Amino acid sequence: MVRLLITGSPGVGKTTVAIELSKTLNTALIDINEIIKPLLRWDPRLLTNYVVDEEEARELIKRSLRGLDSYVIDTVAINLIDKALIDWCIVLRLNPPTELMRRLLMRNWPKCKIVENVLAEAVVLH
């Protein structure tokens, strides 16, 4: 039994690592974004982010994981994961942050969202 959480800034490779680990461990891959998708609401003030009722999202995630003994969770939204649902957490980082900028530019993300994520990664590195 393994209950593993993979997290990090957007673009660092969470999904790639989570997919490979779920294959290696022969366990379910859980994409939190897919679980909470029905709850997401666009925030017109921020223009780049979605908002969600966190309590409702936590309950939906708990229900979705109920009955599973093993899984690999792929998410940036660690605040939505009850710590009782995981045994291990891997935080992925990307150095230098310019590589993260390149990856997010390739995704055609809005420049303000790219800067926000690159700065967050750079601040944590130093």
Query: pLDDT of 34-87, one tens digit each?
Result: 999 999 887 777 665 677 899 999 999 999 999 999 999 999 889 999 999 999
Cβ(18)–Cβ(6) below 8 Å: yes
Q: Specify the pTM.
A: 0.78
Cβ(37)–Cβ(79) below 8 Å: no
- CATH 3.40.50.300 fits domain 3-92: yes
Domain edges within the chain: 3-92, 94-126
DSSP symbol at 126: -
Cβ neighbours for 68, distance < 8 A, ≥ 6 positions apart = 28, 30
**Tokens representing 74?**
């792929």
pLDDT per residue as tens digits for the range 13-31: 999 999 999 999 999 999 9
